[in-house]
Amino acid sequence: MSERRNPLRNLLNRLMWDRSLNPGEYVIYFESRGAASGFEVVKGDELEKVYLRGFEARMGGKVKYIPFHRVLEVRNEATGEVLYRSHKMP
C-alpha cells in the first residue's frame, strides 16, 4: 500500500506535522473491543507516530498502537467536519 493510496495515513501525518492545523481540534474514533461502547476516541494532539499500517497515540498514560483498519472516523470538533469515514460506519 503506497502512501498516495492511504488517505488516512496522509491525514494523520498532516495532523502531526502541518503547523497550520491545530491537532487538538481533531478526534479519531476507532473500534475497541475493550470499550463498552465498542469504540474509543483519541485527540489529534495525542498522536505519537504514524506507521505504514497504523499509528501510536498516548492514552491513559500509555502509548497504544491502533491499526488503520480499526479507525472509524476522523472529525474536526471545532467545525464538525468529517475528514475521514470508514466504510464500516452506518
Which pLDDT score is estimated for 88?
Answer: 75
pTM, 2 dp: 0.89
C-beta separation of 78 from 23 below 8 A: no
Place of cell 505519537: 48
C-beta separation of 9 from 52 below 8 A: yes
Residues 57-84 have pLDDT tens digits of: 999 899 999 999 999 999 999 999 999 9
Reported as a pLDDT band with limits 50, 70 and 90, residue 43 is very high
**What is the dihedral angle through the alpha carbons of 71, 74, 77, 79, rounded to the nearest 10 degrees?**
-160
C-beta separation of 40 from 32 below 8 A: yes
Which pLDDT score is estimated for 4?
Answer: 65
C-alpha cell at 63: 502509548
Q: What is the mean pLDDT of the chain?
A: 92
Q: Which domains does the chain have, with CATH numbers?
A: 3-85 (2.30.30.220)
